[in-house]
Amino acid sequence: MHLKSISLKGFKSFPDRTRLEFTPGVSVIVGPNGSGKSNITDAVLWALGEQSPLAVRGQSMQDVIFGGGRGVQARGAAEVEIVLDNAGGDIDLPMGEISILRKLDRSGEGEYRLNGARCRLVDVLEVLSDTGLGKEMHSVVSQGRVEHIVTSKPRDRRLLIEEAAGLGKHRKRRRRAQLKLERTQDNLDRALDVEREARSRLRPLKRQAEAAELHERLERQTLEARWELARDTVRVRREELRAAEEQATVARSAREEAQAELTAVAARRQAAEDALARRSEVREALYQRAQRARSSGERIELRLERTRETAQALAERAERRGRELEVLRAQVAEDQPDEAGLERIEALEAELTQLEADHQAELERELAALDQQRAGGEREEQRLAAVVAERRTALTAADEAAEVARRARRAAETSAEAARRDAANVGAQLAAANQFLRSHTSLDGARSLADELTVEPGLELALAAALGGRLGAAVVADRAEGATLLDRAGADGGRAIVRAPRTGTVPLEGAQAGPCPGARPLTALIDGPEPSLTIARGLLEDAWVVAD
């Protein structure tokens, strides 16, 4: 192993980075006085871990930093790196070259690097312990060192020989081990003193522990009884709440049905009102038609009267013609009529016959027309009577539908009022149940763990036994709120748990093996809101549930 190179920057008289290469054999550095030859030796010593400023010819370790001169500014740090050839494996590292770098700034902060990696001084000394390099090194002999070795005491020469032989490392390790043993012995002595003192205090503490255990057991029994009472009360309240909810559901269903019926009745009523409006329009039309029928009947009566008058006139005319014919016949009977008189008589008879025939035909025509008009009027009157009867029936049905709608509306309003009363009763019962639970499981209105947690059915007593008095503790935001609640509780006492966030997580089921086969962690069997669930799991980390 030999020194391959040394690089200096800001160290004593080397303000800028300076690199010196060395080859195997003897290397000699020559130069005038004050040129920095000794500074190179100091740089090697300093890089190998020298801690004494005097060894590198300084008053303090910051003196190795270039202080400026001849127009060159001072540097803020000193840095020296040496590279050792490890081709022969003298250093127990799997590397062909070993680089050691030391750096120091004016604030006193320094660092070591071994092959570029940050390390401690002890690591550097440990690596160099088998090479003869180090604080007590024999590889570097300065002026006056030979005389010092010759005139030194046998003990000092022995240390130098041990260092050269590689025994210094073991001696240092033995010294460190002895110091560690001494510290261990001191710790053991203190532990024995603490043990003796603890034994002297163990008996009264044992009595106190027994009393505390008895108090804990009694408190647990009291809490179990309170828990059982609260659970029974909650069960009753839940049953009452369930019944009230069922009643409310029935009431809501009845209300919905009544509302649907009311809607249907309203629709039917609207339809009836629309039909009634149409019937009114039809009635008005029928009234107009009846008026026209009455006018037509009056016209028929007038025609019948004129027909009667015409028939009367024809009858009078026929009667006159008959009297004339009788007169003529009488004259014929008295006198012998001539041919012209006979012709006149025959003409009068023919005219009389024709008048009677015409009168009869006209009378039959008028009577036939009157019969047809009378029959049409009777049919129209019958149709009008049927329409009026139908309209009256529809009006009656509309009135009945309106009455049904009014009754349905009243029934729906009654059902809605009953549903509102039931809902109010349910809300009051739920509020009473919550108030009861708060009054039995918490401090003055604060929610307790019992309020927040739920557990699988049948494991309530196991949870109460595991948490003990902490189950009824109030969950508060901070210590100040907990202190206020405890002061308010006064002589009744109480407990409070602060909702402090946990930095870790609580293992759930399967995270670790149980104490026996079939055991389940109680933390996996509870549920509730945060942060109460995390608090409870932290308190139940070592709690397990087994079947028997």
The tokens for 391 are 């309209």
Q: Tens digit of pLDDT for each residue in 144-199? A: 666 777 777 888 778 777 766 666 667 777 888 899 999 999 999 999 988 888 88
* Cα–Cα–Cα angle for 335, 329, 353, rounded to 5 degrees: 150
Ranges of the chain with pLDDT below 50: 337, 437, 440-445, 491-492, 501-511
Report the pLDDT value the prediction gives residue 444, as an integer from 0 to 100.
Answer: 46
Domain range 3-135, CATH architecture: 3-Layer(aba) Sandwich (3.40)
The residues pairing with 97 across neighbouring beta strands, listed in sequence order, are 85
The tokens for 459 are 């494991």
Q: Tens digit of pLDDT for each residue in 445-468? A: 456 667 777 878 777 767 777 777
The Cα 379–Cα 350 span in angstroms is: 43
CA 279 to the chain's CA centroid:
62
User: What secondary structure does DSSP assign to 115-130, as a single string?
Assistant: TTEEE-HHHHHHHHTT
Residues 6 or more apart whose Cβ sits within 8 Å of residue 391: 279, 282, 283
Report the pLDDT value the prediction gives residue 416, as an integer from 0 to 100.
Answer: 65
The amino acid at 435: Q
The Cα 235–Cα 429 span in angstroms is: 13
- Residues 22, 29 contacting (CB under 8 angstroms): no
The tokens for 174 are 């033995």
**Percent helix / strand / coil, the chain, rounded to 5:** 65, 10, 25
- Residues 472, 439 contacting (CB under 8 angstroms): no
CA neighbor of 104 nearest in space, from 199, 10, 222: 10
Q: Which residue has the tokens 């460190």?
A: 176
The Cα 194–Cα 145 span in angstroms is: 53
- Residues 5, 22 contacting (CB under 8 angstroms): yes
Q: 3-state class of 504 per DSSP? A: coil
- Residues 9, 17 contacting (CB under 8 angstroms): yes
Alpha-carbon dihedral 231, 234, 235, 239, rounded to 10 degrees: 180
Report the pLDDT value the prediction gives residue 81, as an integer from 0 to 100.
Answer: 95
Say what the pTM is. 0.34
- Residues 15, 75 contacting (CB under 8 angstroms): yes
**Sign of the alpha-carbon dihedral angle for 492, 497, 498, 499:** negative
Instruction: State which H helix or E strand residue 9 sits in.
Output: strand 3-9
Residues in the chain: 548
* Cα–Cα–Cα angle for 508, 514, 516, rounded to 5 degrees: 155
CA neighbor of 403 nearest in space, from 273, 278, 265, 255: 265
Q: 3-state class of 98 per DSSP? A: strand
**Sign of the alpha-carbon dihedral angle for 367, 369, 372, 374:** negative
Three-state secondary structure readout of 346-363: HHHHHHHHHHHHHHHHHH
Bridging pattern class, strands 474-476 and 496-498: parallel
Report the pLDDT value the prediction gives residue 323, as an integer from 0 to 100.
Answer: 76
Q: 3-state class of 325 per DSSP? A: helix
The residues pairing with 149 across neighbouring beta strands, listed in sequence order, are none
Number of neighbouring beta carbons within 10 Å of residue 13: 16
Cis amide linkage into residue 529, ω under 30° from 0: no
The tokens for 475 are 């969950």
* Burial (CB count within 10 angstroms: exposed 0-12, middle 13-18, buried 19+), residue 464: buried
Phi, then psi, of 177 in degrees rounded to 5: -65, -40
Instruction: State which H helix or E strand residue 531 sits in.
Output: none
Q: What is the mean pLDDT of the chain?
A: 76
Sheet containing strand 3-9, strands side by side: 18-21, 3-9, 77-85, 97-105, 110-114, 117-119
The Cα 358–Cα 310 span in angstroms is: 11
Report the pLDDT value the prediction gives residue 85, as an integer from 0 to 100.
Answer: 87
The amino acid at 151: T
The amino acid at 420: R
The tokens for 48 are 């190998």
User: What secondary structure does DSSP assign to 217-253, as a single string?
Assistant: HHHHHHHHHHHHHHHHHHHHHHHHHHHHHHHHHHHHH
The Cα 521–Cα 323 span in angstroms is: 144
